[in-house]
Structure 1
Amino acid sequence: MDAIHYWLPVLWAAIIGVAVVLYVILDGFDLGLGILFPFTPEEERRDVMMNSVAPFWDGNETWLVLGGGGLFVAFPLAYAVIMPALYLPIIIMLLGLIFRGVAFEFRWTAKPNHHFWDQAFAYGSITAAFMQGVVLGGYLQGIHVENNAFAGGTFDWFAPFPLFTGVALVIGYALLGTTWLIMKTEGELAVNARRWSKYLLLAVLAIMVIVSLWTPLAFDRISERWFTWPNILYLSPVPILTALAAFGCWYGLNNGREVMPFMSAISLFLLGFVGLAISNTPYLVPPSLTFWDTAAVPESQIFMLVGVLIMLPLILGYTVFVYWMFRGKVREGEGYH
C-alpha cells in the first residue's frame, strides 16, 4: 500500500473523530440543559438556562454535519453498512433534535402559553441524547457484515449494552449541563447545579467502571487490546488521567470553583473517547472493516479534503470568537433571544 492510500484514510478518520468529539462536547452541555429541564420547574430559571446557551447551540450542530458528511464522502462503504444497522435510532435521534430546535425558537414567542414547548425541549433533548448513546453502543458491540454489506437485523441495536450506553450518555450530558450552569449562572440555580453535579459525577464514574469491565468481557478484540503485554503498560496513562480528571471535578465542586468542574467533565468525555478509539482502531466498522477497507478513492478524499482544510479553521475560529464574546455569567432578565 503506497503512502497516499495509507495516510488519506487515517487523516479522514482523524477529522471525523475530531468532529464527533467537538459535537459531543459542544452540543452535549446544551442537551444536558434540556435533560435538566424537568428538574427545574421555575420559569425564570428555565429562561436563564436557555439564555446561557442561546448564542452557541445552533453552531454546535455544525460538527454533527461534518462527522456524518465526512463519513459519507471519505468512507462510503462504512456509511452504507452503518446506516442500515442503526437507521431507527439515528432517525429517532434526528427527530429529537428537530423537536428540541423548534422548541428553542418557539418557546419565546409562545409565552405565556409555552408549556408544550418546554416539554418538547426537555423530551427532545432526552430522546436525542439517549439515542446517541444507543447508536454508540450499537456501533461498539459490532455490526454483522457479509460481502461488504450489512447482514444483521433491524433491531440488533436493541440489546442490553446499547440501551445501557443510551442511559449512560443521558447522565453524562446532564453532568456537562450542570457544570456549565455552575460556570455560567449564579444564585440558587448555580447552587442546585453544584449539588446535582456531585451525584451525576459519581454516576458517571460508576458508568465508566461498568463499561471498562463490560466491554473487555463481552468483546475479545477489546480485551486483547487493553489486557495483553505490553499494551497494558502503554495504555495505563488513560485510566490514570481519567482518575485525575474525576478528582479535579470533585475538588472543583467542593471548593467553589466555577470553571474547573466543567473543564474536568470535558476531560472525562475526552478520555472516554480516547479509550473507545484505542479499543476499536483501525476498525471503522467493528469488528471487520478497517479505515482502508471502507475508504473512497483518493481523488474523492482529496477533493473534499481541500474544502475541509479551508473551512475547518474558519469554523473553529468562529466558534472560539463566539464563546469568547459571550463569556461571563447570565443573570435573570438577561438574554440574547
Structure 2
Amino acid sequence: MGIDLPLLWAVIIGFGLMMYVIMDGFDLGIGLLFPFVPGRDDRDVMVNTVAPVWDGNETWLVLGGAALLAAFPLAYAVILSALYLPLVLMLAGLIWRGVAFEFRFKADEAHKPFWDKAFAWGSYIATFFQGVSLGAFINGFPVENGAYAGGLLDWLTPFSLFTGFGLLVAYALLGATWLVMKTEGALQRRMRALGRPITAVLLATIAAVSLWTPLAHADVSARWFSMPNLAFFAPVPALVLMASAALVRSLGRDDSHAAPFVLALALLFLGYTGLAISLWPNIIPPAVSIWQAAAPPQSMGFALVGALFIIPFILAYTAWSYYVFRGKVKAGEGYH
C-alpha cells in the first residue's frame, strides 16, 4: 500500500501552522501587552525575553505557505485570492513591528515612545488580521471551475471580526504566561494578575466560537453532534475546562513559573484540535478536500524529500536557540 501523500502533507502543514501559533503567538502577545505595562525598564525586559529568538519564530509561517503552494496549489490559489487584503494587512503589521523592534533599541529618548507604540500597533494589526483570516477560512470560500468565485470583501463578516478579537486574547495569554516564566519581581506579578482575567475572556471566546460555528454551518453541527462522534469528541471541551481551571490555579501560585505557559499552550492546542475536527478533511471549506486539492503525486513526492530534510534542521536550531537563552531575563541584560 502506497503512502497517502495528501494526508502526509496535511499533517506537515498542520504541524507547521501549530508551531507558528505557539512560537510567534507569545512573541506577538508581548506587543499586545505593551499598553498594560507603561514602565520603560519593564518593556525592555519584555522585549529582551524574545530578542534572541523572534526572527526564527516566523520560519514556520514561511514553511506553511511554501508547503501549501507545493502540495495543494488549488488551495493556495483560492485561499490567497479570497484573503488577499487581510493577509497583506497582517504582513504589513509583522513588518512594522519588526522595524519597531529594532529601532526602539537604537532610538534616542525622545523617539522611544513612538517606537513603543509602533511595536504595539504592529502586534495588534498582525494578530487581528490573522484571526480575521482564520474566521473567514472557517466560513469557507465559493469555488467554481477551480478558482475563487467570491468577492473582494467576503472575508469581512461578524464572525471573522470576532475570531480576530479571539486571537488577540489568545496571543495575549501566551505573552503573559511566557513572561511569567521568563521574568521575576513586579513584572512577573503584573503578568500573573493579567493572566487570570485573560484566561476567563479566552474561555468565553472559545465557548462563543464553539457555539457559533455549528449554528452557522450544518455540516460542522452534524460532525460534532451525531453519534458516535459526540462520544469521541466530548473529551475536547472537557479538557478545555480542565486546562483553564489548572491555568488559573497555577497563575495564583508564586512558585509556579513554567506551568502557566505549558497550560496556555495546551489550551491553544485543544482549540486547534477542535478546529481540525470541525473542518476535516476539507482544505478549502466547505467542500474541497485535501485529496481534491492535491498536486500531482510526482510533485508532492519531490517536495516531500526537501521538507523531510529541512524540518529536522529547523527543529534542531530552534531547540538549541531556546536552550542557549533559557532562564530568567533581568533588567539591564539582553539585546543591544
What TM-score bracket applies, with the shorter chain setting the length?
over 0.9
2:47 paired with 1:68: no
Match of 2:182 in 1: 184
- The count of corresponding residues between Structure 1 and Structure 2 is 334
User: 2:115 aligns to what SS in structure 1?
Assistant: helix
Pick from 244, 248, 251 the counterpart of residue 246 of structure 1: 244
Of 172-181 and 252-261, the range deviating more from structure 2: 252-261
SS at match of 1:214: helix
Q: Distance in 2 between matches of 1:307 and 1:200?
A: 40
Partner of 1:294: 293
**Runs of 4+ that moved beyond 4 A:** none
Q: How far, CA to CA, are the matches of 1:267 and 1:173 in structure 2?
A: 13
What is the Cα deviation at residue 254 of structure 1? 1.6
State the AA in 2 paired with 1:223: S
Question: Would you say the 8 A contact 1:48–1:331 is kept in 2?
Answer: yes
CA distance in 2 between partners of 1:305 and 1:139 (Å): 25
Among 165, 168, 172, which residue is 1:167 paired with?
A: 165
The residue number in structure 1 matching 2:260 is 261
Answer whether contact 1:145 1:288 (CA < 8 A) is retained: no
Q: Match of 1:123?
A: 121
Q: Equivalent of 1:228, from 220, 226, 229?
A: 226
Give the drift of 1:302.
1.2
Superposed CA offset, 1:63-83 (max 9, x none): 000001110111000111111
Q: Structure 2: how far apart are the matches of 1:208 and 1:108?
A: 37
CA deviation map 1:47-105 (0-9, x unaligned): 00000001111000000000011101110001111111100000000000000111111
Which segments of 5 or more consecutive residues in structure 1 lack a partner in the other structure? none
- Deviation track 1:264-323 (CA, whole Å, cap 9, x = no partner) reads 000010010000001001000000211011111111111111111111111101111111
SS at match of 1:293: coil
1:313 is matched with 312
SS at match of 1:250: helix
Cα distance in 2 between the residues matched to 1:336 and 1:37? 17
Give SS of 2:83's match: helix
Find the aligned partners of 1:173 and 1:311 in 2 and give their Cα distance.
27
The answer as to 2:102 corresponding to 1:105 is: yes
Which stretch shifts more, 298-307 or 133-142?
A: 298-307
| RMSD of equivalent CA atoms | 1.0
2:13 aligned with 1:24? no
Opposite residue 100 of structure 2, the aligned amino acid is: A
- Partner of 1:292, secondary structure, is coil
In the aligned structure 2, how far is the partner of 1:116 from the partner of 1:87? 29
> What whole-Å deviation, never above 9, does each CA across 1:88-138 have from its counterpart, x for those lacking one?
000000000000111111111113222221111100000000000000000
What are structure 2's unaligned runs of at least 5 residues? none
After superposition, the C-alpha distances for 1:4-36 in whole angstroms (9 at most, x for unaligned) are 4xx101000100000000001100001000011
3-state SS of 2:150 partner: coil
TM (norm. structure 2) is 0.98
